[in-house]
Amino acid sequence: MTLKWIATRTQEDGVFNPAGLGCAATGVPVGTDLLTRGSLMIEVALRPTVQPINLLRFSVLAPWPSGLNLCLEPDGTVRLMMRQGARHLQTALKTTLGSDVQTAHITYTWDAPARRGQLSVHLPDHGLLWQTSFATPFPLSMHDAQLIMTDANSSKIGAGVVFAAIADAPCPLGPLPGLSGAAAVDTPTGPKALHDVVAGDLVNIADGHPAPVLWAGHATLPTLGRFAPMTLRRPYMKLWDDLVTTRDQRVCLAGSEVEYLFGEERVTTAVRHLEARNCAVSTKPVPAVMTYYQILLGTHGIITVNGALVESFDASAVLDKPALIKSSVLADLAPDLRPSRVGLAAPVLRRHEAMTLTGVTIG
């Protein structure tokens, strides 16, 4: 079954389309049918707090009492509480959220027929992932899903919430791909579109030696928050064509300025940190969803895509944790193909460091 995102909500508005975001609406009234499988994801920007924070709060009495509350407690515990009629569900996940300025993806997935639910918290900037599983999850009804996403009276989102989204199947948890499928990666036989790359193909890496692809995959995501597409513009960074990425995709910077300022041959930084310069802009127009691609190598490395040096897939948050990898985009990766070495391809610059460097080399 192909996953479809059917609803999104931001601080400004909400969209609900059971046919799938970006598809033509059917016009069929929404009933109380259950989404027996699904996902509820929120992206939230957090600061240290000494008070509990309601990230998402929903409550109605008709056609039966129903409610959902997702909150963050001061000690970093993320708590999910749900009500359906006389039944109540509560689960909690201890994290370090709230200890610093952080952006997090908090996701509740459910598969009612399989009697499996999961609550997950991923910090994309830190490569940290927490997850807990539980039996007998509560599925959302289509009626409740619509109200959560579009009715400001029955559903409230916290001030730090960037977006909320609902899908009709469990979505992958943890790190996600971040490159356009039309972008071409350098291989020994020439550039090859990422959507055509398969496991076993060889790609060129920064040290000049071809490396085998262990996994090539994709994920379809709502184009909001960190998943909003950005365009790296040619000819910056040696691009021979524009490159569309997520805001979190990391690109490589190298040269004498890098060595002078950081004592490294090369460093990486998230594409969003280049937004203040002419080399990176928000992609226009923006579709409701996009499918992003990536490739996993035996060693997390630097690959050349459309002429620019970018990071291959960073799966360090799940690679050494078999229990987490089962719910990630790498769920189908055979255990004997999982890389044994987990680490950064190059030092990662924070925003203020990237601004200093790009001001010298790009701006």
Model pLDDT for residues 204-260, shown as the tens digit of each residue: 998 778 999 999 999 999 999 999 999 999 998 899 999 999 999 999 887 777 777
SS3 category, 236 = helix
Is 281 exposed, middle or buried (CB count within 10 Å of its CB: 0-12, 13-18, 19+)? middle
* Residue 229: closest CA among 275, 162, 268: 275
* Residue 233: closest CA among 199, 271, 200, 207: 271
Phi, psi of 360, rounded to the nearest 5 degrees? -85, -45
Banded pLDDT at 342 (limits 50, 70, 90): low
Q: What is the pLDDT of residue 363?
A: 32
Q: Are 327 and 131 in contact (CB under 8 A)?
A: yes
Encoded tokens for 3: 């996953």
Distance CA 91, CA 73 (A): 13
Q: How far is CA 232 from CA 196, 238, 266, 307, in A?
A: 21, 10, 19, 11
Distance CA 351, CA 355 (A): 6
Q: What is the pLDDT of residue 331?
A: 95
Q: What is the pLDDT of residues 117-141, one digit of tens each?
A: 999 999 999 999 999 999 999 999 9
Q: What is the pLDDT of residues 12-32, one digit of tens each?
A: 999 999 999 999 887 777 888
Q: What is the pLDDT of residue 360?
A: 52
Q: Are 341 and 299 in contact (CB under 8 A)?
A: yes
Q: What is the reported pTM?
A: 0.94
The 3-state secondary structure of 135-177, one letter per residue: CCCCCCEHHHHHHHHHCCCCEEECCCEEEEEEECCCCCCCCCC
Kindly list the structural domains of the chain, giving each domain's residue range(s) and its CATH number in brackets, ordered by start: 5-167 (2.60.120), 179-356 (2.170.16.10)
Q: What is the pLDDT of residues 282-319, one digit of tens each?
A: 999 999 999 999 999 998 889 999 999 999 999 999 98
Distance CA 250, CA 333 (A): 23
Banded pLDDT at 359 (limits 50, 70, 90): low
HSE at residue 207, side-chain half, CA atoms within 13 A, is 8
- Rounded to the nearest angstrom, the gap between the alpha carbon of residue 246 and the centroid of all alpha carbons in its chain is 9
User: If you average pLDDT over every residue of the chain, what do you get?
Assistant: 91
Compute the CA torsion angle 44, 46, 52, 53 (nearest 10 deg). -30
Banded pLDDT at 357 (limits 50, 70, 90): low
CA triple 192-197-201, angle to 5 deg: 95
State the maximum Cα–Cα separation within the chain, in Å, rounded to a whole number: 66
- Strands of 289-297's sheet, edge to edge? 202-204, 210-222, 289-297, 179-180, 243-245, 230-232, 280-282
Q: What is the pLDDT of residues 254-285, one digit of tens each?
A: 777 777 778 777 888 899 988 877 789 999 99
pLDDT at 152 over 50: yes
**280 sits in which H/E element:** strand 280-282
pLDDT at 44 over 80: yes
Answer left, alpha or beta for residue 259, where phi above 0 means left and psi between -120 and 50 means alpha.
Answer: alpha
Tell me the CA end-to-end span of the chain in Å, nearest whole number.
46
Q: How far is CA 178 from CA 152, 240, 314, 344, in A?
A: 32, 19, 10, 16
Encoded tokens for 316: 């360090």
